[in-house]
Amino acid sequence: MSENPIDNRLADRLKSLRLEQDWSLDHLAGQSGISRASLSRIENGEVSPTANILGRLCSAYGLTLSRLMQMVEDDYTPLIRRTEQEVWHDPNAGFFRRSISPPAQQLAGEAIEAELQANQSIAYDRPPRDGLEHHLFLLEGALEITINGQSHCLQAGDCLRYRLSGPSLFRTQPDSVARYVLFTV
C-alpha cells in the first residue's frame, strides 16, 4: 500500500465500486480501456492512478472525479478550512487537484481548485456523465481547452461554461502554469 492515506482510501473505494457493480477486473478493463494488470495494481494501492486513468474509471462508473474524491473523504461538514482540503497530485501530468467544496455525497454541485504545470496536457476520452456542466474560471496563466473538438484559449480572468458529451483536452503553454477553479453541476 501507498504511504499516502488518500491514495489508500482511493484504492479501496475503486475496488468497492467495482465489487458493488459485480464487475470482474476483465469487465472493468473492457469498460475503461485500462489493462487488467494496471487495474489490479491501482486497487491494491501499489500505484497511484493518473488523472487520465481516473477520468476513464469515472466514465466507466458514471461519476465525476470530484464525486469519486468525495467518496474517499470523510463525512460531510458545511465548512472545510483550506488546511483540511484534500489535495491529490498526478506527478506524471504535473497536475494538482484540491477539493475546495466540503465533501457531501448528497449534494450535487462541486468546486475544485486545480493547477496544471507548464507544457502539460490531460486528455479525457469521455465525460464521467454525459451532459455534465462545468464552469471553469482561470485564475492564473493560460489554458487551452478542447471540448467536443472545439478549442478555447483562456487567459487569466476568463470563464468557460460548457457541457461535456465527448472527449476533452486541457493543455498549458510551454511557459505558463494554469491555475483554475472548476465548478461542476
Domain count, the chain: 2
The grid cell for 106 is: 448528497
pLDDT, tens digit (0-9, with 9 covering 90-100), for 46-74 = 998 998 999 999 999 988 887 787 777 65
106 shares its domain with 137: yes
Residues 162 and 106 in one domain: yes
Per-residue pLDDT tens over the stretch 128-138: 888 989 999 99
pLDDT of residue 110: 87
Asked whether residue 79 falls in the same domain as residue 167, the answer is: yes
Q: Phi then psi for 24, rounded to 5 degrees?
A: -80, 165
Average pLDDT over every residue of 104-127: 88
Q: In this structure, are 65 and 81 located in the same domain? A: no
- Sign of dihedral through CA atoms 85, 72, 89, 57? negative
pLDDT of 57 reads: 93
One domain, residues 88 and 27: no
Q: Which domain-ending residue is among 17, 41, 70?
A: 70
Same domain, 102 and 11: no
Looking at the structure, do residues 62 and 48 belong to the same domain, yes or no? Answer: yes
Q: What is the reported pLDDT for 74?
A: 53
The CATH number given to whatever domain includes residue 26 is 1.10.260.40
pLDDT of 154: 98
- Residue 60 shares a structural domain with residue 99: no
Q: How does strand 178-184 pair with strand 110-116?
A: antiparallel
- Assign 3-class secondary structure to 115-179: EECCCCEEEECCCCCCCEEEEEEEEECEEEEEECCEEEEEECCCEEEEEECCCEEEEECCCCCEE
Give CA–CA dist 123/95, Å, rounded. Answer: 12
Q: What is the pLDDT of residues 146-184, one digit of tens each?
A: 998 999 999 999 999 999 999 999 999 999 999 999 999
The pLDDT tens digits for 12-51 are 889 988 988 899 999 999 999 999 999 999 999 999 899 8
The pLDDT value recorded for residue 7 is 82
Q: What is the pLDDT of residue 118?
A: 97
Task: Indicate whether 173 and 92 sit together in one domain.
Answer: yes
Query: Could you list the residue range(s) of the whole structural domain that residue 100 is in?
Result: 75-184
Which of 49, 70, 91 is the C-terminal boundary of a domain? 70
Q: Are residues 79 and 96 in the same domain?
A: yes
Examine the domain organization and report whether 61 and 122 are in the same domain.
no
CATH of the domain at 103: 2.60.120.10
- Contact assessment for residue 118 and residue 173, using Cβ atoms and an 8 Å cutoff: yes
Between 119 and 107, the more confident residue is: 119
Of 1-5, 52-56, 118-122, the one with minimum mean pLDDT is 1-5
- Residue 109: which pLDDT band, with cuts at 50, 70 and 90? confident
Last residue of a domain, one of 42, 70, 98: 70
90 and 170 share a domain? Answer: yes
The answer on pLDDT for 90 being more than 60 is yes
Provide the 3-class DSSP secondary structure of residue 180: strand
